[in-house]
Amino acid sequence: MDLQNGLFVKMAIDVWTKELNATGALLEKLSDDQLMREIVPGRNRGIYLVGHLIAEHDQMMSLLRFQAALHPELKPPFIDAPDRAIAELPSLSQLREQWRTVSDTLMQHIVRLPADEWFTRHANISEEDFPKEPHRNRLNVLLSRTSHLAYHRGQLVLLANK
């Protein structure tokens, strides 16, 4: 792997880490009461966004070909369904613990993956199709999920003043 690609991977991982840490710090700051509120009237509640981020990051582990998801039970209520579609959600204390576990496990995989491996296919594209669409690689997943994380962290910030 050339130096430039290694530098690009490091920059992407650094931004991911910054966003992940900032979101973790925000989740520690927000109370359970704040997380039960809607971001804006008629929209998602904080608890839903927390569960959604955990479920998405958990699914990233299989998408990036690291390991199976730790909490596949979070996909139906937080990815497949909108907020309030499922009445019984995990408690916020359980979600906070799952946030830490999923974030730590995912980061361990991310920092150990060699730079050249970031340019290999993710799990949603076959080996046969990857040469035709080389942009469908692991690094592109990390970049898109970093934007996704930053977007939802921006929404959760709105709860800090409520």
The CATH number of whichever domain residue 14 belongs to comes to 1.20.120.450
Compute the distance between CA of residue 61 and CA of residue 110 in angstroms, rounded to an integer. 9
Domain membership of residue 46 (yes or no) is: yes
User: In this predicted structure, what is the pLDDT of residue 104?
Assistant: 98
Full domain range(s) for residue 53: 10-161
pLDDT in tens, 62-107: 999 999 999 999 999 999 999 999 989 999 999 999 999 999 999 9
pTM for this structure?
0.96
Q: Which of 56, 46, 36, 155 is nearest to 103 (CA)?
A: 56
Question: Would you place residue 4 in the very low, low, confident or very high pLDDT band (cuts 50, 70, 90)?
Answer: confident
Token pair 């997943």 is at which residue? 141
Would residue 2 count as lying in a domain? no
**pLDDT score for 21:** 98
Residue 58 lies in a domain: yes
**Cβ 137 vs Cβ 120: under 8 Å:** yes
DSSP string, 12-43: HHHHHHHHHHHHHHHHHHS-HHHHTSBSSTTS
- Answer whether residue 1 is part of any domain: no
Q: Which residues of 43-67 are buried (b: 16+ CB within 10 A; e: fewer)?
A: ebbbbbbbbbbbbbbbbbbebbebe
Q: For residue 70, tell me if it sits in a domain.
A: yes
Count of domains for the chain? 1
- Residue 120 inside a domain? The answer is yes
3 found inside a domain: no
More confident site: 35 or 161: 35
Task: Give yes or no for residue 10 having a pLDDT over 70.
Answer: yes
